[in-house]
Structure 1
Amino acid sequence: MSQATQNTQIKLIARPQGAPTAELFQVEHSTIPQAGDGQILVKQSHMSLDPAMLGWMSDDRESYIPPVELGDVMRSSGYAEVIESQHPDFAVGDKVTGMFGWQEYALSNGQGINKVDPNLSAEMVLSVLALPGLTATQGLLRIGQPKSGETLVVTGAAGSVGSIVGQLAKAEGLRVIGVVGSEDKADWIVNTLGFDAAINYKTDNLAQQLAELTPEGIDLFFENTGGPIQQHIYQRMNAHGRIVVCGMIADYTAATPAPGPNWMNIIRKRLTIQGFTMPDHFHEVPQLLELLVPYVQKGQIQYRSHTLKGLTSAVGGLNLLFTGGNQGKLIVEL
């Protein structure tokens, strides 16, 4: 079979026990499909690797999105070009984003596929205008309701979502403290992104650092990680504070998730705590982009991407999310 007629796919063949390993996946080759009536065929050039993938791989039937079934192509969002179209809304050559999965070519009926500006790089689109930026916009601006002069603490602050949350908050006039896991990441969010301060949860005295950096308490807590600092942030929340719970990566691979804080403070401080996931809001992508794009156009959102080469690099690359080894938005270039 010649290369031009072959589609390489990576399928999930086992459930993870802790961190993901290569044995969970199988590489297969099949004939490239053809677009039928009302369909488009896309050739994917870049895939996004995201912490939520571990949840999608598990057999949790009560989660916000059904698990990837064993034997199916691994789920992921990506950037692609339309190479065949029998769909009225898409033309050959259109650049698009969508949930295309770990494969070179994908068929779609167009649902959940968004056209993007062809002048923007794939890295820019996947790092800012795709899942990370949409998640930050929904979580911070719509749920968090930030107000100028407030103090925000964001965990996973050098990650793809947390870094955008912090920059949006700075643009809205908030004091922003980022929690990170290395001195390099601390330096980046303060000296490049403009955060007011950073806490390295691996080395610093967390309670003391928080007390010094948030003398007037915390109004808004954007939670991406869980882990040892969560309790300390929760204890410093101000009255009528808001906690936006986006991710808990510290607990995704733990045999027993860490216990949550006692609810007493929720009553005493009249806190609002809301969890959210983006599949609930995929139908609102145009409205979310309307909120986000002006910040991008004003140069208020910077990013860095960590690009791996080749489809099969996704298998090992996924682990970087759980070791903190990635320096920026994790992307696979096919």
Structure 2
Amino acid sequence: MSTYKAINLVKRPDGNIGPELFEVVEKTVPEPADGEVLIKQAYMSLDPAMMGWMSSDTDSYIPRVELGDVMRSSGIGEVVASNNPDFAVGDQVMGMFGWQEMFLTDGTGMNKIDKDLPAEMALSVFALPGLTATQGLYGYGDPKAGETLVVSGAAGSVGSIVGQLAKADGLRVIGVVGSDEKADWIVNELGFDGAVNYKSDDLGAKLDELAPEGIDVYFENTGGPTQDAVFERMNAHGRIVVCGMIADYTAETPRPGPNWMRIVKKRLSIQGFTMPDHRHKTRELQAKLTPYVQKGQIKYRAHVLEGLESAMDGLGMFLTGENKGKLMVKL
């Protein structure tokens, strides 16, 4: 009888993210019943949001992963058996498959993708990163040519796309990153106008140098001291799009937010958002993103780990900044 591996969440994080939180189990490969599809997963996405899904928080935008359940994640795979007329054996599909080699589903929430589209590109651009960047920037950022945009986590999968979209639309784009290598990549490869290394630069002084006329749009992915420095330099009627706060995901006590008086003085708009609210717009967002990709205005790099079990160590790379590009696991 054939088996496959899956990884369950068995412990809540207490500041560290590592193999001690998980358990590798073997399961029997199921036979799809009427209306069901069996997927063999090929690539599995790792995303910062997972750290929130693992926490004990029950008051969030999406239900937490319960202890003993397969760890949640999106991925790309191939249909290997089907009793569902909407999916044929050989179809390449994308969906929430979890940390496992095989996935049985009735097809709900699963989308076919072009078999000629490389899986690494699909996960790096047209999956969660590209959808999040497009919805956040255009849905809430209201970017206008000539304005200045700052994006934190700028070398990450979402931040790099936000910056490239804004640059293509004629904005001045400044990225905040955590290494000189990442700073060099976003400026010299992606075309950003400037970069701030939050680990070595004086944040305020560098922002004053790169954005002397202030900041109109801030796309927030990380939180931390960067948030305070950018907030103090927002222009009147500026827009802040809050996508992530990775600096606080494992913190015992989150950092206090900035004083709201500046929101009043500068008439700022601040909007938090998460993609599950917008999954019904997937095709619309992909259509918005596609012309930029076709024109060569969106570049990406994938950081690929090998083997299912590499996810258990790999997830912690978001806290250290070791990952370079979209983090994923090749099964």
TM-score by length of 1: 0.98
Whole-angstrom distance in 2 between the partners of 1:286 and 1:34: 31
Residues 112 and 283 in structure 1, CA contact (< 8 A), matched pair in contact too: no
1:11-160 equivalences under 5 Å are 11-160=8-157
| Residue in 1 that maps onto 2:297 | 300
Q: Tell me the amino acid that sits aligned with residue 115 of structure 2.
A: P
Structure 2 residue ranges without an equivalent (≥5): none
Q: Tell me the amino acid that sits aligned with residue 41 of structure 2.
A: Q
Whole-angstrom distance in 1 between the partners of 2:94 and 2:284: 16
Report whether the alignment pairs 1:215 with 2:215.
no
SS at match of 1:330: strand
| Residue in 2 that maps onto 1:284 | 281
Q: Tell me the amino acid that sits aligned with residue 194 of structure 1.
A: G
SS at match of 1:161: helix
Residues 148 and 174 in structure 1, CA contact (< 8 A), matched pair in contact too: yes
Between the two proteins, what is the percent identity of the paired residues?
67
Q: Tell me the amino acid that sits aligned with residue 64 of structure 2.
A: P
Q: Tell me the amino acid that sits aligned with residue 190 of structure 1.
A: V
Instruction: Figure out how many residues of one structure are paired with residues of the other and give that number.
Output: 331
Report whether the alignment pairs 1:272 with 2:280.
no
Which structure 1 residue ranges, 4+ long, deviate > 4 Å from structure 2?
none
Whole-angstrom distance in 1 between the partners of 2:36 and 2:132: 28
| Residue in 1 that maps onto 2:231 | 234
Residues 112 and 282 in structure 1, CA contact (< 8 A), matched pair in contact too: no
Whole-angstrom distance in 2 between the partners of 1:161 and 1:236: 23
Cα deviation for residue 117 of structure 1 reads 1.1
| Residue in 1 that maps onto 2:167 | 170
Whole-angstrom distance in 1 between the partners of 2:180 and 2:270: 30
Whole-angstrom distance in 1 between the partners of 2:64 and 2:141: 28
- Picking from 320, 324, 327, the partner of 1:327 is 324
- Picking from 258, 262, 268, the partner of 1:261 is 258
Whole-angstrom distance in 1 between the partners of 2:150 and 2:20: 38
SS at match of 1:229: helix
- Picking from 291, 309, 314, the partner of 2:311 is 314
Q: Tell me the amino acid that sits aligned with residue 262 of structure 1.
A: N
Cα deviation for residue 281 of structure 1 reads 1.0
Q: Tell me the amino acid that sits aligned with residue 80 of structure 1.
A: G
Report whether the alignment pairs 1:186 with 2:179.
no
Aligned CA-pair RMSD: 0.8
More deviation, 183-192/91-100: 91-100
More deviation, 201-210/32-41: 32-41
